[in-house]
Amino acid sequence: MRLLTSALLAQLLSTPFSAALTVDAQSADSLKSAAKTAAASAVKYYNDRASKLIPGKFDGTWWEGGAFFTFLINYWHWTGDSQYNDLVTEGMSWQGGPNNDFFTSNYSSYLGNDDQEFWALGAMTAAEQKFPDNSEPGSASWLELAQGSYNDFADRWNVDKASCNGGLRWQLYPVLSGYDAKNAISNGAFFQLAARLYRYTGNESYAHMAETVWDWSVQSVLFDNQTWFINDITHISENCQDKGDMQWTYNYGSYLAGAAFMYNKTNGAAKWKAGVDGLLGSVWTTFFPAEYGNVLTEVSCDPIKTCNRDQLCFKGLLADWLSKTAMLVPEQAGTIIPKLQATAVAAGKQCSGSGSECGMQWYSSTWDGSSGIEQEMSALSIFANTLVSFATNGGSSPGYTPPSSPGPVTADDGGNSTSDPTGGQSSGNEYQPPTEKPITGGDRAGAAIITLLFSTSWLAGMAWLVVGGVY
């Protein structure tokens, strides 16, 4: 082990470090160049993955593929660079599954609602930005994939109203630890998807569900619409009265963007204006802290460098949703855009690892030593989405022409993705939660035994792989 550590140390010490990405947020060319660098790095990680024979599948995680393709769609939208479009189409369509709802049998046994939702939101982004539909015969449109996923979530909501008077569970089956939980992101992302479908199609049933999810959320312990504070999670076994209060960017962003879509569709209804204004205030205070130079920060893990793979993606998601909010709520663009610009400049300085690898601590001008596809994805998102500054409030940059339809389009103003409001319901396997019963000491003991047996088997398997030379 000491020899391995010494070898790695020697390699690190001998590796030349590149200069940081110098980003001029007032220059579209500079932002496009930074986004191109981050996109190339992220795609290289994707192409080098062990699971590359399965289009769209990441190693060790599934949901991140939805975020990855969303960020590449945004990259194409804002820069016009289409070199990754075929990769996006292949991955998104492959993972759409036989029922066109991103709920394939390969992963459905361990998925959470939030995992599936990120793919659905990616499909919605493709529809709203007129990303070309898959031309292969029999392929679903992006809108159809989003609608099919929505129908799954709506079905789960409707058949599980007895627990905590509504709300989506985090995970779908009792064998999963998150089955007992209702969390902010599962409900916030569902709210956002419903809001976006309402704006795109004009179908009032989507509006009704968006209202229902929002109202349930603010009546629960998850979301206080007086302080605009969002808790992360609550548990059914505690009658949804407990709360985990870890602060994450994507929880706020999911509800913020949904409120922005509703605000835009309802011509500035007071309810949604209050939501946008209140949530933005909390986002600025919590995630753009003065102590970190008012730069976007994942405050629960960035400063202590404990962000896991999931959490490394969250800032990229918020950057995307802030950009959309700037387009949908123009009176807030003047507040949002300077925050995005300052963060893009700061993030460029953090991209100073070997080969311009990007780290996680965007507020620091010194590379933090971390690297990976998630860091590149979030950097790509902030660079590409900051180009919104040249498509709203009269912003411009020499030589840069914004997309002809910069804002999220609808079926009434250029959207051409075909609709199928019945998608996702043809499997015959509609979600049916099992009959609830109190968790007993015997249940806990049994779960512990199963966990022990699984862990022992896993360790034995890993030992066999190591001895066999696989690693």
Higher pLDDT, 163 or 447: 163
Mean pLDDT of 287-309: 98
What pLDDT is recorded for position 444? 41
Would you state the pLDDT for residue 134? 95
Once rounded to an integer, what is the mean pLDDT over residues 125-145? Answer: 96
- Of residues 383 and 466, the one with the higher pLDDT is 383
Neighbouring C-beta atoms of residue 242, cutoff 10 Å:
13
Q: Mean pLDDT over all residues of the chain?
A: 89
Tokens for 450? 């199963």
Q: Does residue 105 surpass a pLDDT of 50?
A: yes
Q: Comparing 445 with 82, which gets the higher pLDDT?
A: 82
Residue 432 binned pLDDT confidence (cut-offs 50, 70, 90): low
Q: What is the mean pLDDT of residues 351-372?
A: 91
C-alpha dihedral, 152 to 154 to 157 to 159, nearest 10° = -80
State pLDDT tens for residues 198-222.
999 999 999 999 999 999 999 999 9
Q: Is 2 a residue whose pLDDT tops 60?
A: no
Grade residue 13 by pLDDT with cuts at 50, 70 and 90.
Answer: very low
pLDDT at 19: 67
| pLDDT band (50, 70, 90) for residue 427 | very low
Task: State pTM to two decimals.
Answer: 0.88
Residue 358 Cα distances to 69, 207, 308, 369, 374, angstroms: 19, 39, 15, 9, 9
Q: Is 230 helix (H, G, I), strand (E, B) or coil?
A: strand
351 CB burial (10 A radius; 0-12, 13-18, 19+): buried
Checking if the pLDDT of 463 tops 60, the result is no
Query: Where residue 423 falls among pLDDT bands split at 50, 70, 90?
Result: confident
Whether the predicted pLDDT of 103 surpasses 80: yes
Through-space distance between the first and last CA atoms of the chain, rounded to whole angstroms: 14
**Residue 437 pLDDT more than 50?**
no
Name the pLDDT band for 393 (thresholds 50, 70, 90): low
